[in-house]
Structure formats: structure tokens, C-alpha cells
Amino acid sequence: MPGSSATSVDTAITPEGIEAELASGFPRMRFSQSLEDHFETETSEERGRSNAVKLAVGLLFFDLFIITDFLIFPDIIQLAFLMRFAVVTPVMLATIYIALRHPRPLTRELLLVFNLWVLSSGVGVLIIFGQNPLKDVYLNSFVLIILFATMIVRIQFRSAVLGAVIFTVNYAIIIYYSSMADIPRVIALAFLYIAGIIFTLFAAHNLEREYRTNFLLARLQNMRNQELKSASVHDALTDLFNRRGLEEDLLRLQRRVSAGMGKPYHLGVIILDIDHFKNFNDRSGHQAGDECLRAVSRALTETLRSGTDRAYRYGGEEFMILMETSDDNQIMAAAERIRLSVLNATIAHPDSSVGPHVTVSVGAAHAPIGVVPAKAIIEAADSALYLSKANGRNRSTLGTVTEDLVQQIAS
């Protein structure tokens, strides 16, 4: 049946599983493995596109700093050109390309950290080989780079920690080899750098927690909405689809026909009614009647073809099945399977003229919707059901969608 689907959902990706994750606070900045995989699947494509744009903007600003290189490092301007345009730029462009190809999470994060190392090393080379006493102002760019990585690109917190460690090692190496004579100034810059790194890591931690929390809340809200929608189209007693679900499926089929540029869909309709159900309720009580309805729904569900047929509770003790068929024998065979399945369930009936067990009367009809309205097929099946009742019940009858019936429905 079009529109039906079967999905296998891991227990962690349920409302209860998501609520457990939210309650835990995911202190390691990771979800359970199945939910983490789902998180990466849902977010990696958008993150890849976003990272590519942000890296491109970051690269543009990095290369624009060639202007300050002319002011600070006129003695090594050729080296500055080499580092910015022959080393860092190609690496960043390669990263942008890979980001757009949705790499594995570990590859993506390690590549971003590697870019941090390349950026900081590129700046470090200029500081080491430059002779201008003002070159130490470039040390501030380290904090700028890590801010860009955590606040703009938003690398994961673990990657930010790794990047900070690599940055700090680079920072120490650069200071050691840069021969800066103003020790108090170097110490002050180092303290500013350490404070900047610590504050940035705190911010990165909070940003990722917020991002992951919002992801979970959005998934949870979506699941709750799906549950509400499912409840609105299902019968609470039998768990079959209800009249609203029937109307939605018929509308979906009509749209399918329209989208197929007039190609008809051969709709088969089977309607069944429990024989003497009022007598059953009067003698056994409504609680037993409810259990009877559940037992009949289970019996008819067992006969359905998975993925193609769909069952509905059509009325009090009436049920309907929609299926795709254009063959009289096929739809009558399906009707008989349903009738016999209910009979073989041997549900005791205290007051039936048919026999000691619950039976059903069945009516069936089929026709191509797009040629005739679905309502005409339902009316034909309903008329056939009443013929089954009139002819002694516990039987199946095939109805016909006549031109008169179609005109009557149209009028």
C-alpha cells in the first residue's frame, strides 16, 4: 500500500532513549554509539557545507593579512607570500574540497585540527624569521585562529582540546626560536594566550553542549509530533488505521494517480462486518466485545500482504482493507482468506444464528481510480457486503462498480 513503511529503530533513538541522553548531560560530549551515529548522519551534510563556506571566508581573511606582512615583515615578504599562498592556501582549499564530500567524522575533525596546525605554523615561520621588533603582535593571531575554529567553524570540543595542545606546543617553539628580547612582554603575551585558550575551550564546550542539546530536543519534538500524528490516524482499540487514516490514504492514492499523468491505480476494497455483533455485546458485555474486535483485527491482519495491503477499522464492527488488484479471483481469494482466518480463530459467540463462533460477512470490489472515484468502489464493496448478509452471512460476495453507481456518486 503506498505510503506505508517499516522502519527498524534502535532503542536509543526513541523518546525514552533521547530523554535518557538529555538527563545524563553527555559529559564526554558524545552520545551512545547508535545515537552518535544518527547524530552524525543527520548533521554531517549540513556541517560539511557550512564548514566549507566558513573555511573559505577564513582563508580569505588569512590571505588578506599579506597587507600587514608588508608592514611588519618587509625583509621576508617573499617568504610571507610563499607561506600564505603556496602552503596554507592549497591546504585550506583541499580541506574545503574534502569537507564538501562528507568525510567520516574522525577524518573531518583531524583534518580541521591539521589545518589549525598549518595556520599556526605558517604564522610561526614569519615570527621566527622576521626581524621587526613588533613581530610579537602576530602571536595574538594564535588566539584569533583558535577562536575562529571553535566559535565560527565550531569544531567538536575534543578536537578543540587537541588543537589547543598543538597550538600551545607551536607557541612555545615559536617563542623559543624567535629570539624575542623583551621578556616581560613575552610573558604578558603568554599569559594572554593561555587565558584566551582557556576561555575559548570553555566556550567551545558550552557551544557543543548547546548544539547537541538542541539536536536532541528537535529529534524529541519530531518524534512526539509523529506519535501524535500516528495516534490521530490509528484506532486506539485495535491499533488498525481509523477513518481519518483511510481518508488520508485515499487522498494520497488520488495524488499518486494525478502525479502519474492519469495512469490509473487499480484499487481493491474489502469490507467485512462481524455477524450479530450486537447480540455478542448484549450477551457478553462491552469488555468482551472489545476483546472480540481486537481478536478479529488480529485475524484479518495476519492475512495481509506486507507493504501492499492496509487494514482499517471502518465503523463499530466494520473493517476495511485496501489493496492493489485488478483481478476478480485475487480479491475474492483475499476476502476468503480473511473470512476463514476469523472463523479459524474460534472466538466463541454466545448468540449467533450462524454458528458457535464469531464469523464475518465480506464484500469486495475493485476498479481503477482515476477512471472511477474511490467512493464508488467502496459503495460497491459495501453493497456486496449486504448481499453476503442477506444470503445467510459468513460468506464473501464480489460487487461491481457500475456506470449507474459512478454517476450516482458524481451527482
Query: Phi/psi of residue 213, each to 5°?
Result: -65, -45
Instruction: For the beta carbon of residue 106, count every other beta carbon within 10 angstroms.
Output: 9
Q: How far apart are CA 27 and CA 404, in angstroms?
A: 70
CA angle, 61 then 66 then 69, to 5°: 130
CA angle, 125 then 126 then 129, to 5°: 80
Residues with Cβ within 8 Å of 361's Cβ and at least 6 positions away in sequence, in order, are 272, 273, 275, 385, 388, 389, 393, 394, 395
Residue 40 has which C-alpha cell? 552524525
HSE-CB at 212 with a 13 A cutoff on CA atoms is 29
Q: Which of 62, 173, 63, 153 is nearest to 113 (CA)?
A: 153
Residues with Cβ within 8 Å of 284's Cβ and at least 6 positions away in sequence, in order, are 292, 350
DSSP secondary structure, 21-63, as one string: HHHHT-TTS---HHHHHHHHHHHHHHHHHHHHHHHHHHHHHHH
Return the residue matching grid coordinates 563556506: 53
Q: How many residues does the chain have?
A: 411
Q: Which amino acid is at 44?
A: S
Q: Which of 261, 265, 239, 234 is nearest to 252 (CA)?
A: 265
Catalytic annotation, pick one of 227, 317, 318, 324: 317
Report the SS3 class of residue 104.
Answer: coil
Return the residue matching grid coordinates 603556496: 86
Widest pairwise Cα distance in the chain:
109
Residue 317 bears catalytic tag:
yes
Residues taking part in catalysis: 317
